[in-house]
A and B are shown apart, each in its own frame.
Chain A
């Protein structure tokens, strides 16, 4: 049985832990709202760009002179997995879920006899992936230096990826990133990044559209932008997911701490009562002995 002093110390320590988790939860809740608004604000651009892409791609698709980014290198041997993790912890199972998804993809590809390399965005994916694939990490991108990664960071990542692609370092790239559904669930999803998948359906408006300069030149410029937008979207989703997961995890932690405090308080009161009873018995016994 722990002494009264020890119990009191533990109650206080759990109380301060609870204060921290509670504060983190409230910060996450506030940041989540912001992150969601940012994700919302980015949607028009992404959807318009996808529309434009769709109508152009439908025209150029199937032609031999389609841009390299769309056609691919003609081989599917070397795969690159772009894994988007968060920079900070305290967000429950989010990062381990992302890493799990990335490793599952890597295993599936390896089983097909493909080569897999990783491009890691965010700090938290590095250690667990390095443990299993110590030699397969091609590049790390650090997003922890800026407060909220924005379009500039996405653009840097995209350029680095495109340079790697042009240098022939990989044939196919997939993006593994969390998808924010709600504060309770953020599932990692894998989407193909390079070669840019041709849009599945595109209702042709029938209108004759004039292009300036040509269709191919526009597509040539549009594809890198499309890749950038996808990464930007992933960064925004990551931000929202991180805050959502953090909020849920910290809410649970706060509640657990509360339960623990209640339990410890009961134990503390019991021991105190026991001590008082023992003291009384001693006094009474002493008085009777006289």
Chain B
């Protein structure tokens, strides 16, 4: 019951870990990704990614600017130009 989440910026690999759920601010609206999500790709607008380590836990927020989110069978990868955290 865990989703592999990666957040990558040009400068470095910011995050690479197993989490419960991630809420990504897509250009067409926020979307949450759980394990087993269908393959999906979206552009990301400037905003905060919410990271839920376990179900019901308080989310950790990471500010990102400009990028893409890609969901594959392997997990969720967010490519951002800038990220805090």
Which A residues contact B (CB, under 8 angstroms)?
38, 41-42, 44-46, 48-49, 52, 56, 150-151, 154-155, 205, 207-213, 217-218, 221-222, 225, 229, 232
Contact = CB atoms under 8 A, between A and B. Distances in A.
B38 A42 contact: no
A45 B73 contact: no
B28 interface: yes
Contacts of B26: 212
B29 to A, nearest CB: 8
Nearest to A211: B41
A212 B42 contact: yes
A207 B73 contact: yes
Nearest to B81: A151
B41 A52 contact: yes
B11 interface: yes
Interface string B47-80: 0000000000000000000101010110001010
Contact of B13 (A38, A44, A207, A232): A44
Contact of B39 (A41, A154, A208): A208
A213 B8 contact: no
B72 A218 contact: no
Contact of A205 (B9, B42, B72): B72
Given A41-B13, A207-B39, A49 B79 contact: yes
A56 B10 CA distance: 20
A221 B39 CA distance: 20
Interface string B5-43: 000111111000000000000111000000000111111
Nearest to A207: B39
Contacts of A222: 68
Given A48-B77, A213-B27, A221 B10 contact: no
A222 B68 CA distance: 8
Nearest to A56: B41
Q: How would you classify the secondary structure of chain B's contact residues: helix, strand, loop or mixed? A: strand
Nearest to B41: A211
B11 A207 contact: no
A42 B73 contact: no
Given A38-B11, A44-B8, 11 more contacts: A45-B79, A46-B10, A52-B41, A52-B68, A52-B79, A154-B10, A207-B39, A209-B40, A212-B40, A213-B28, A221-B43
B8 A45 contact: yes
A53 to B, nearest CB: 10
Nearest to B12: A41
Contact of A45 (B9, B39, B70): B9
Given A45-B79, A212-B42, A218-B41, A207 B8 contact: no
B27 A212 contact: yes
Contact of B70 (A52, A213, A225, A229): A52
Given A48-B79, A52-B79, A213 B13 contact: no
Question: Most A CB atoms within 10 A — which of B13, B42, B79?
Answer: B79
Contacts of B42: 211-213, 218
A210 B28 CA distance: 13
* 9 tightest A-B CB contacts, nearest first: A212-B42, A209-B39, A41-B12, A207-B39, A151-B10, A45-B8, A45-B10, A210-B40, A44-B13
